[in-house]
Structure 1
Amino acid sequence: MTQAAPTLEPADRALAAEDRLRAEVYDLLAALLADPPTKERLRALGGLTGDATPMGRAVETLAKLARNTSAPSVEREFTELFIGIGRGELLPFASYYLTGFLNEKPLATLRKDMASLQISRAPNVYEPEDNIASLMEMMAGLIDGRFGSPAPIERQREFFNRHIAPWAAHFFSDLEQAKGSVFYLPVGTLGRIFIDIEREAFRLGNG
């Protein structure tokens, strides 16, 4: 698996429109949480449009901030939130959210599932695989088939319920409320709403 920031290119056009959109949202979240956006990515984000839904309003806010901020400013915010001196304001790892410690059982369970899905960590990536950006990218890949064929909805549901549902909404809520969040506040809102939508769709068996 390539855990560097994914591109914002559309997913495979053979996918159903709904699944293509789902993969794009996961990829967008992965890109923003893997690395601070470059000047070029901020320009692309500034062109996004939303709608009157809560998720659409979060997209509109993100686009507005992207148009009115600089790459160095967002990089400083990213560093304070996720890296810091010793550690950032947030630790975006499943193991930490679920056990209070890094590199615990949730990571071991994820690695087993990654092996069964033939997903491997890129050699230049050193963070544990259970970080939020990597999990968003993995979910996008299961949807659009970048790790092989698109995963059946039952496999997507299993992966989501095991590795994302137990903690991701909590993380995104923390990101919304973090003292250092400005540009990343609507990223937290977008992520929280989207994860709730996915959870409900999987519960109902519709997505």
Structure 2
Amino acid sequence: MDAFEGEGVFDARMEAVQFVGTTLSQFFLNDPSTGAIDAGLAAMAALDVDAAADEWPFADEPEARCALALMHEGALQREADGGEAMKWEYRRLFVGPQSLPAPPWGSVYTDRDCVVFGESTIALRSWMRARGIERLNDEKDPEDHIGLVLAMAAWLAEEKPELVGEFLRLHVLPWSGHLLEQLEAAAEHPFYKGLTSIARTSLSGMRDAFGLEVVEPRFYR
């Protein structure tokens, strides 16, 4: 914590990081047909968009309103059609088996060979190991999956808040905006278009809120 920063301000920002990371990561990481995120989707279907946008941290209110309105629309659509459209959109964007239009891993964009488990994955893995941080999931997904880094930000905000700024500056913000722009452009279902938009604007707001100077890498995709 900076010497000039009040403890209450610091704690409030950590609570906000935890909220954003916990709320959004579940939707990136879980197929909506499995039941794992039924509660979150029901909450989105019942959302008061204006009230939620007014309170959403790190995001400009108009951008938050537009993104949350899309997620609300998509969640209502899921209730109306039984979830088939959302299920197949999730698999198209995040699972395959076809080539993913915008892969959710940072190294695909920052590694010269555009591969998973590339340079950004290795760097993040080394950073975690040096600080005694264990993976939040199994070994199937590279650590620089957009859903995993959001979940990691939430975990750090609660368990190791002194590392949040460093984590964001070095291992999330350099590539997340570019990745999320690609995902937002590729998304066809309103829920995922809104999800990628609110994630992008929230992470950008975190950069400003924490006063982070981020070095953007060369993107190969």
Report TM bin, short chain. Answer: 0.7 to 0.9
Indicate the SS of the match to 2:199. helix
Select which of 87, 91, 104 maps to 1:79.
91
Q: Which residue of 2 aligns with 1:31?
A: 26
Indicate the SS of the match to 1:183. helix
Write 1 or 2 for the structure with the bigger share of helix: 2
Say yes or no: does 1:106 pair with 2:116: no
Q: Which residue of 2 aligns with 1:57?
A: 66
Structure 1 residues 107-163: Cα deviation after superposition (integer angstroms, max 9, x where no partner): 111111111232223564411111111111111111112xxxx321xx211110111
Which one-letter code corresponds to 1:65 in the other structure? G
Select which of 125, 146, 150 maps to 1:132.
146
Indicate the SS of the match to 1:51. helix
CA gap of 1:59–1:117, structure 2 versus 1, over 3 A, is farther
Over the aligned positions, Cα root-mean-square deviation in angstroms equals: 2.2
Provide the rounded CA distance (Å) in 1 between the counterparts of 2:29 and 2:193.
16
Which one-letter code corresponds to 1:151 in the other structure? P
Provide the rounded CA distance (Å) in 1 between the counterparts of 2:84 and 2:186.
19
Q: Which residue of 2 aligns with 1:46?
A: 45
CA gap of 1:57–1:127, structure 2 versus 1, over 3 A, is same
From the CA coordinates, give the structure whose radius of gyration is larger.
2
CA gap of 1:193–1:171, structure 2 versus 1, over 3 A, is same
Provide the rounded CA distance (Å) in 2 between the counterparts of 1:122 and 1:195.
20
Which one-letter code corresponds to 1:163 in the other structure? H
Say yes or no: does 1:195 pair with 2:203: yes
Provide the rounded CA distance (Å) in 1 between the counterparts of 2:101 and 2:153.
25
Structure 1 residues 160-194: Cα deviation after superposition (integer angstroms, max 9, x where no partner): 01111111111111122115443200011101111
8 Å Cα contact 1:34-1:133 kept in structure 2: yes
Instruction: Count how many residue pairs are aligned between Structure 1 and Structure 2.
Output: 185
Deviation, 1:86, is 4.2
Indicate the SS of the match to 2:117. coil
8 Å Cα contact 1:82-1:88 kept in structure 2: yes
Which one-letter code corresponds to 1:166 in the other structure? P
Which one-letter code corresponds to 2:44 in the other structure? L
8 Å Cα contact 2:107-2:118 kept in structure 1: yes
Q: Which residue of 2 aligns with 1:121?
A: 135
Deviation, 1:74, is 1.3
Q: Which residue of 1 aligns with 2:166?
A: 158
Q: Which residue of 2 aligns with 1:178?
A: 186
CA gap of 1:179–1:18, structure 2 versus 1, over 3 A, is closer
Which one-letter code corresponds to 1:48 in the other structure? L
The more displaced of 131-140 and 78-87 is 78-87
CA gap of 1:112–1:45, structure 2 versus 1, over 3 A, is same
Provide the rounded CA distance (Å) in 2 between the counterparts of 1:16 and 1:56.
25
Structure 2, unpaired ranges of 5+: 1-9, 55-60, 214-221
Structure 1, unpaired ranges of 5+: 1-14
Indicate the SS of the match to 2:174. coil
